[in-house]
Structure 1
Amino acid sequence: MKLVKLLLLGCVVVIVAASCNTSQKIFVEHDYSYETNFKAYSTYAFLECERDTGNVCTEVYNAIHRQMQARGYRLTTNKPSLLVNYGIFYDNLRYQGYMQPVIKNWVDTEDDSFKYEPIRYSLDKGTIIVSLIDADTDQVVWRGYAAGIFKNPNAANNYYRNVVRTIFDQYPLFASGYDPRGGGGQSNGR
């Protein structure tokens, strides 16, 4: 009897954990520029939210800020190295992305033989697109996106924070000079 209760409790825990996992319910992908030295960025500033929808933009802004800080980037208005742009799109969206190696693998090798392989996506209603833009060149260097974010009408309090975290899971890079281990030394920008 004790074993049955323990198994039942285990099943409930698994079901609850699965229902909290946003990555199973949304499509997440990213694209980036092969022309970029990602190891050179350390600061950022925000551009205005595209298609401002009130609280959603504020929640997404705060979540992006949290993710950038976690990677060692500093928010500044004085000559940032990156500009952060983000938009929330309510309708279905046709989008051209690229089949690319995982960004960390490319940054580690900077293999010049990689080519852009276009891929067309039909993104479901409710898409967040986050773009990191080189402040000197105004070129998008990385773009992460999550589609189908409005599929869950009973979203938890931290739902958009979790969606943004899932997007930034695609950007495992750290700011130039930031050591994620807290040792205070250089991390080679990764």
Structure 2
Amino acid sequence: MKAIKFLPLVLLFLVASCSSVKVTSDYDTSTDFSKYKTFAFYKKGIDKVEISDLDKRRILKAIESELLAKGFTKSENPDILVNIFTKARQKVDVYSNNSMHIGWHPWYYGPNYGMHISKYTEGTLFVDLIDADKKELVWQGIGSGGLTTSGDVAKKEARIKEFLAEIMAKYPPTIE
């Protein structure tokens, strides 16, 4: 039963069919982001995320990689705490491929090529950066995308990296 509960969230990072990651971010405009140089993961928050431990490790590894590439250092005494959480919801798209036949009977609608129904899971990953001293959220990145189940672990890992690269591209924010 527990496995069924986690199934939609596990699907979060599987390969999407024809779907890109939609990304937004929000931040505290009074924060000086240049002062943050070190990070650590907020274990207490991450432990509450209802996805498999394998996917958690994949997500954290991708976040760590992105932060290290931005010049951060992992630390026991961090400037920033990193937390994550996820949401998943089922979506349905319905497409009608009807065409009108004009001929002997103008009121006759030609062959119905049918309704095409597409069901998929849309997953959302939230990445929170929390000021370690103030214990306040200073930045949040959000990535959403359509998901499918393929069972291909390499594609799942690539999708996780894609989500995180897109989300972390918004950090640090460009203040205008």
- Using structure 1 for the length normalisation, give the TM-score: 0.57
Pick closer, same or farther for the CA change 1:68–1:163 going to 2, 3 Å. same
Richer in strand (by share): 2
- Contact 2:39-2:72 at 8 Å conserved across structures: yes
Pick closer, same or farther for the CA change 1:42–1:159 going to 2, 3 Å. same
State the identity as a percent.
Answer: 26
Q: What is the distance in 2 between the residues matched to 1:129 and 1:53?
A: 13
Q: What is the distance in 2 between the residues matched to 1:32 and 1:130?
A: 12
Gaps of 5+ in 1: 1-19, 93-123, 174-190
Pick closer, same or farther for the CA change 1:61–1:23 going to 2, 3 Å. farther
- Alpha-carbon RMSD: 2.5
Corresponding position of 1:139? 136
Pick closer, same or farther for the CA change 1:28–1:162 going to 2, 3 Å. same
Corresponding position of 2:56? 57
- In structure 2, what residue type is equivalent to 1:164? L
- Contact 1:25-1:151 at 8 Å conserved across structures: no
**C-alpha distance after superposition, 1:42-86 (max 9, x if no partner):** 101101324231222111000000001001111111x21000001
Corresponding position of 1:159? 159
Q: What is the distance in 1 between the residues matched to 2:134 and 2:141?
A: 19
Pick closer, same or farther for the CA change 1:36–1:30 going to 2, 3 Å. same
Pick closer, same or farther for the CA change 1:169–1:73 going to 2, 3 Å. same
| Deviating 4+ runs (over 6 angstroms) | 20-23
In the TM superposition, 1:1-190 aligns within 5 A as 25-48=20-43, 49=46, 50-54=48-52, 55-77=54-76, 79-91=77-89, 125-148=122-145, 150-154=146-150, 156=155, 157-172=157-172
- In structure 2, what residue type is equivalent to 1:44? F
SS of match in other structure, 1:51: coil
- In structure 2, what residue type is equivalent to 1:57? K
- In structure 1, what residue type is equivalent to 2:62? A
SS of match in other structure, 1:91: strand
SS of match in other structure, 2:51: coil
Gaps of 5+ in 2: 1-14, 91-120
Pick closer, same or farther for the CA change 1:138–1:23 going to 2, 3 Å. farther
Q: What is the distance in 1 between the residues matched to 2:159 and 2:68?
A: 19
**C-alpha distance after superposition, 1:23-55 (max 9, x if no partner):** 952321100101101111110110132423122
- Contact 1:57-1:88 at 8 Å conserved across structures: no
Give the number of aligned pairs.
121
- Contact 1:133-1:139 at 8 Å conserved across structures: yes
**C-alpha distance after superposition, 1:136-155 (max 9, x if no partner):** 1111111001113x524347
